[in-house]
Chains A and B, each alone.
Chain A
Amino acid sequence: MTPLYQWAASLAERGMLPSDFQYPFLIRGFLCVLVLAPILGGLSHLVVTRRMAFFSAALGQAALTGVAIGLLLGEPLNAPYGGMFGFCLLTTLAMVYVKRHATLPPDTLIGVFHALTLGLGLCLLVALTRQFNVHQVESVLFGSLLTVTDADLLLLLAVGVLVAVLLVREYNKLLLDSLSPPLSSVSGADSAFLEYFFAVLLTLSIVVSLKVIGALLVEALVVVPAAAARNIAGSARSYLVWSVVIAFLAGAGGLGVSTKLLVPTGGAVVLAVSAIFFVTLAAGALLKRRSRVSR
């Protein structure tokens, strides 16, 4: 990756890129945003359509517990992926299984898992303070570009490609299943498979995003881009395009703000995406009023 950083730095020196691009960590962050925007933006419009916003929040909390488990089991502080992947995957499969087999409303069941994983995570974090300064895991909670390594970026890229390929393959079935599970089943799709499949894709994407966005804030980037896109989109195509564009603008904007103001990247990204949501809300209302007047 060093030649890429040197090339970007030389462009920054010649004024062809913003001066901040002379720092490798910032180039890495920008590349992360480039990969994250299509993954999380693309997933977000299905997350909102399938009503899995709360599910995503619970997964973020589970990742926090996963970090604690990974560190307690001896994983390195800057890459506790085994604990995160393992615990998040276990939580995801358990949540989907219980949701499919219990008669309670899904949000109630997810609420139970949300509380359970958070409680467990807090207890484990207290245990962790005997080994680490708790501020060392802050980057996982709130996201930090300084701790993102080349290996993290490559993992993000590999998972991003995998998720994109699988999502494109099953997209139509997933959307039909979100609109009407009975119609989807009658057309030959396996509703149970689709539910587990999408939940696992979401888990993978959330886990690899954590070092940039943070466990407590990742939910925002898998929900708000699609929510904002809904305010202005008029078709499935524009819904996807806007979700990705908004995720990218929020990522790039948040990155810039966090570098300038020295605030956590995750927080800055979430503030940026929330600001975009309110702008699209106003734009959507304006568009609706205009179309009513023209009719």
Chain B
Amino acid sequence: MVPSGVTPPLIEFIDVSIARQREHLLSRVSLTVAQGAVHVIVGPNGAGKTTLLTAALGLIPFEGRILAHWRGDGRIGYVPQAFAVDPSLPVTVEDFLALTRQRRPVCFGVSRAARARIASLLRDVGLDGLEHRPLSVLSGGELRRVLLANALDPLPELLVLDEPASGLDEGGVGQLEDLVRTLKGSGCTVLMVSHDLEQVRRLADRVTVLDRVVVTEGPAAETLARHDVAALLPSGRRQ
């Protein structure tokens, strides 16, 4: 567990507010993600969890400040909540993963070095042999694993996971959790949204309960024990 105040921060959200069409999605949210911690954000649907992540990634405008205190190259790995693939798109898993791993345009073929790297990444996420499968025919769980493989290489300083376990089977969830622990051991900071409270208990160092404002924030076990977080979540997700 990473105690607050001892470990230096990697990301600081200071009074972050986001409004869309005069509706406040987030209101004066302040929280600190400690370096090397697994920080999980929980909250009901519409609480602004994904909005907060996308603001941290610089994908949407916001009021307030988000400060990053990078120690290394500041690389971010990201697994988005939604990734819609056009069903007729002839792009394979290997093509997709090669897009950020080689300079040569993937339409001219995948280089030998990228091919070897991709094969190893796919092994890490339990998808060996799926290199030539079109993205459009993958199941939801397989697609999330491909996105995870994409986010893991090169090793990011911050890994942002938006409901990474959704669509994964039991084996996939276990593999995901092992990967998160390994990454944490390598010094990577993980900022994650999850609805699965059991998973949060197993993985998180710190938890923020969000419902457009920060409801509560603190060490995982303490925060989950102190508040009836399950009452905030959709009924199907309470565990």
A residues sitting closer than 8 Å to B (CB atoms) are 45, 49, 168, 171-173, 175-176, 179-180, 182-183, 185-187, 229-230, 233-240
Q: List 28 A-B contacts (CB under 8 A).
A: A168-B105, A171-B105, A171-B107, A172-B98, A172-B105, A172-B106, A173-B99, A175-B91, A175-B99, A175-B106, A176-B99, A179-B135, A183-B78, A185-B58, A186-B57, A186-B76, A187-B100, A230-B88, A230-B89, A234-B92, A235-B91, A235-B134, A236-B106, A237-B106, A237-B107, A239-B90, A239-B91, A239-B107
Q: Which of B177-234 contact A (CB under 8 A)?
A: none
Q: Which one, B80, B88, B107, contacts A236 given CB within 8 A?
A: B107
The answer to whether A237 touches B109 (Cβ under 8 A) is yes
Bound form: Cα–Cα A45–B86 in Å? 13
The answer to whether B134 touches A172 (Cβ under 8 A) is no
The answer to whether A236 touches B59 (Cβ under 8 A) is no
CB distance from B150 to the nearest CB of A (A): 7
Chain A residue numbers with a CB within 8 Å of B107 are 45, 171, 175, 236-237, 239-240
The answer to whether A236 touches B95 (Cβ under 8 A) is yes
The answer to whether A182 touches B80 (Cβ under 8 A) is yes
A-B contacts at CB below 8 angstroms, number:
81
Interface class of chain A by DSSP: helix
Given contacts A183-B78, A235-B132, 12 further A-B contacts (CB under 8 A): A172-B99, A172-B100, A175-B106, A179-B89, A179-B135, A182-B54, A235-B94, A235-B134, A236-B90, A236-B107, A237-B109, A239-B90
Most buried by A among B77, B91, B92, B103: B91
Chain B residue numbers with a CB within 8 Å of A187 are 100
Q: Which of B92-115 contact A (CB under 8 A)?
A: 92, 94-96, 98-100, 102-103, 105-109
The answer to whether B105 touches A49 (Cβ under 8 A) is no
Bound form: Cα–Cα A239–B91 in Å? 8
Chain A residue numbers with a CB within 8 Å of B85 are 179
Chain A residue numbers with a CB within 8 Å of B54 are 182
